[in-house]
Amino acid sequence: MTDPVVEFLGASKWYGNVIGLNNLSLRLPAGVTGLLGPNGSGKSTLLQLATGQLRPSQGGVRVLGEQPWNNPGLNRFIGLCPEQDAFFEWMTGREFLTNCALLSGLGRKGARNATDRVLEMVGMTEHAGRAVRGYSKGMRQRIKLAQALVHEPRILFLDEPFTGTDPLARRDLMDIVIDYGRKGRAVLLASHVFHEVQSVTRDIVLLNRGRLVAQGDVRRIRDLIDSHPHRIVLKSPAVRVLAASLAIREDVVGIEFKQPGMIVVETRRPDAFYSQLADPKLQALAPIDEVYSDDDSMEAVFKYLVTT
Amino acid sequence: MTTTSTSIESRHSPEPRELAADTPTSRVLGPGAFLTLVKITAARQNRGRRLLVVSALFTLPIVLGALIRRYSESYVPEVGENLLVFVMIFQALVPITALLFASGMVQDDIEEQTMTYLLIRPIPRWAIYLAKAAATFLVSFARAVLFTVLTLAVVHVGTGGDLTDLALKRVPIVLGLLALALGAYVAIFGFLSLITRRTLVIGAIYIVVFEGALAYIDFAFRNATVMYHIRVLSVRWLKIPAGYYAIDPTTAPAVSTSLIVLGSVTTVVLLLGSWIFSSREFRLKTPDGV
């Protein structure tokens, strides 16, 4: 195996009596790696340890060969797209990114150029002059990813970067992640949605309850997951039209009207289902505002994995 | 539990050895990053209800001054100045302003979950804390200067006093005292906000008990209060009657002593805050909870 870019050496993290990460040993080389796990599995804890926000309770963490806790010099090479939907809301998108670039040590001119570059990359140049507080969820996710890229880090940590995005934004953001990995950088993408991860990489790490469950090629995990119906939540203003359009598909095995404007679709072929969502005809018929995976099916797979 | 593990050696990874070779060496904080931190913190402090509350409080001495001048039959500017500037502003509004701003200088970024954007940058944690303290001082000092100068103008302008002396001597000294007091209070309350979540309550008790009551009592403990040394400097520099504060000029500390005490308190408490900030984990809420 090639030298690891990120390494966990029997690392544990607990918060009082709650275990966030349990004796995790992991070596991640460059390229894109997917970090999969249900809510509470320790993905965010892992990312916060790797980015030096938390200190391991036991064991060690190495990023580019250095321990990340209280190591600001290392942060020049690290980019993090955090999960929380938080910003300096009063700033415009451009101000936010320029400030992030300045905080990363870029000079004024460099920060301006870097801001223009990442705005273009995430497709936000047109909206850069608007205050972040007025952005849609998809725009906020794009800007959040941009701030992680603004100083061209060599390792990119992404925590649920596609949550709440519409299908088009999701595709755009995935392409950015794939391109970044192709440029020789390391990307660790944390998500609880298997098919998001599968769309950007074949190499995955599975976590559950703070433990490493599986690591390796996506196909092995996929075989396990495909035996379970996958539940996908869709939000749309024309939810009944959308349901009618989807009901005729053979891979759809169930549709549940959960709340006004929201349905949960069960499918046995999530790949095909996701790719069909970006279809312009479907979008014209019933625009989809938000797509995300219901946690239950993932949880079922994890239960299966940890009990076999 | 079974761990399913497949090889990841075969992945078409780029050159990790090349990546790892260029490990970071420079840990120097650029002035641009520090100033950006100051700017962001100041911009946050300049928004919200906190600023409105402080502005409303600081208009009280101005309004009172105008009312006293309008309705007092035997108006004496020195008495008005003492009441409005040295009692209302220095004893009450300055520590309250410092408390209101300093209590949020770290907590705001935690509650609004923006701390992550600061912690993941190549900036030492102690510098983040000092930048936040600097911004908090600047914002609170700017408010205090504006309203104190207005109060002094309401008290003195049009009374026949020497306005040149007021503008060139008295006002700069008053502003210097404001800077000393606010610097110390921002350091103290910023530190307090790192060690307790009830900064406002404990800070208010501190202001009333220590800076209010104990600073008046002629006992050794008053030497440990910020307010006592500010009063000593007021008496020595501005010739404020020492009897107002129960201070005996013959036994009170010298100017240099008070300056050293105030400077030392500010520096030591700031360094202590920086150390705590550097060694603390800031766990932000995530939907995962873990």
Q: Percentage of residues in chain B with pLDDT exceeding 90?
A: 72
Number of Cβ within 10 Å of residue A212's Cβ equals: 23
Is A73's CB within 8 Å of B24's CB? yes
Q: Which chain A positions have a beta carbon within 8 Å of B19's beta carbon?
A: 5, 30, 64, 154-155, 184-186
Find the mean pLDDT for residues A201-215. 90
Q: Does B12 touch chain A (CB under 8 A)?
A: yes
- Asked whether residue A305 carries a pLDDT value surpassing 90, the answer given is no
Confidence of residue A192 (pLDDT cuts 50, 70, 90): confident
Task: Give the residue from A48, A90, A91, A202 with the most B CB atoms within 10 Å of its CB, the best one to mutate.
Answer: A48
How many angstroms separate the Cα of A152 from the Cα of each of A68, A105, A115, A148?
18, 12, 11, 8
Gap from A282 CA to chain B (nearest CA, Å): 31
Phi, psi of A155 (to 5 degrees): -130, 130
Is B24's CB within 8 Å of A105's CB? no
- Asked whether residue B182 carries a pLDDT value surpassing 70, the answer given is yes
A234-285, pLDDT tens digit by residue? 999 999 999 998 988 888 888 999 889 999 998 878 778 888 887 888 888 8
A57-76, pLDDT tens digit by residue? 999 999 999 999 999 999 99
Confidence of residue B22 (pLDDT cuts 50, 70, 90): very low
Q: What is the pLDDT of residue A222?
A: 65
Rounded to a whole number of angstroms, the CA Rg of chain A reads 20
Closest CA to B286 of A10, A85, A19: A85
Q: What is the pLDDT of residue B25?
A: 43
Q: What is the pLDDT of residue B10?
A: 35
- In chain B, positions 66-125, which contact chain A (CB-CB < 8 Å)? 112-114, 116-125
Look up the ipTM and state it. Answer: 0.84
Nearest CA in chain A to B10: A1
A145 Cβ partners below 8 Å, 6+ apart? Answer: A81, A122, A158, A161, A173, A176
Gap from A159 CA to chain B (nearest CA, Å): 10
Find the mean pLDDT for residues A97-120. 96
Most confident of A50-54, B19-23, B77-81: A50-54
Is A29's CB within 8 Å of B8's CB? yes
- Asked whether residue B289 carries a pLDDT value surpassing 70, the answer given is no
Q: Where in chain B are the domains?
A: 29-205
Find the mean pLDDT for residues A100-129. 96
Three-state DSSP string of chain B: CCCEECCCCCCCCCCHHHHHHCCCCCCCCCHHHHHHHHHHHHHHHCCCHHHHHHHHHHHHHHHHHHHHHHHCCCCCHHHHHHHHHHHHHHHHHHHHHHHHHHHCCCHHHHHCCCHHHHHCCCCCHHHHHHHHHHHHHHHHHHHHHHHHHHHHHHHHCCCCCCHHHHHHHHHHHHHHHHHHHHHHHHHHHHHHHHHCCCHHHHHHHHHHHHHHHHCCCCCHHHHHCHHHHHHHHHHHHHCCCHHHHCCCCCCCCCHHHHHHHHHHHHHHHHHHHHHHHHHCCCCCCCCCCC
Q: What is the pLDDT of residue A105?
A: 92
Here the tokens at position B286 are 């995530």
Q: What is the pLDDT of residue B8?
A: 35
B256-288, pLDDT tens digit by residue? 999 999 999 999 999 999 999 999 998 765 544
Average pLDDT over chain B, rounded to an integer: 88
Closest CA to B129 of B66, B196, B193, B59: B193
Here the tokens at position A24 are 């995790």
- Asked whether residue A147 carries a pLDDT value surpassing 90, the answer given is yes
pTM of the prediction? 0.83
- Least confident residue range of B28-37, B205-214, B254-263: B28-37
Is A86's CB within 8 Å of B285's CB? no
Query: In B166-203, which positions are buried (b, 16+ CB within 10 angstroms) versus exposed (e)?
Result: beeebbeebbebbebbbbbbbbbbbbbbbeeeebbebb
A19-49, pLDDT tens digit by residue? 999 999 999 999 999 999 888 889 999 999 9
Q: What is the pLDDT of residue A225?
A: 61
- In chain A, positions 86-145, which contact chain B (CB-CB < 8 Å)? 86-88, 90, 99-100, 102-108, 111
Give B249's strand partners: none
Q: What is the pLDDT of residue B242?
A: 87
A154 Cβ partners below 8 Å, 6+ apart? Answer: A5, A64, A77, A78, A185, A186, B19, B22
Q: What is the pLDDT of residue A282?
A: 85
Gap from B80 CA to chain A (nearest CA, Å): 41
B208-245, pLDDT tens digit by residue? 999 988 888 878 789 999 999 999 999 999 988 888 88
**Sign of the C-alpha dihedral, residues A20, A26, A32, A33?**
negative
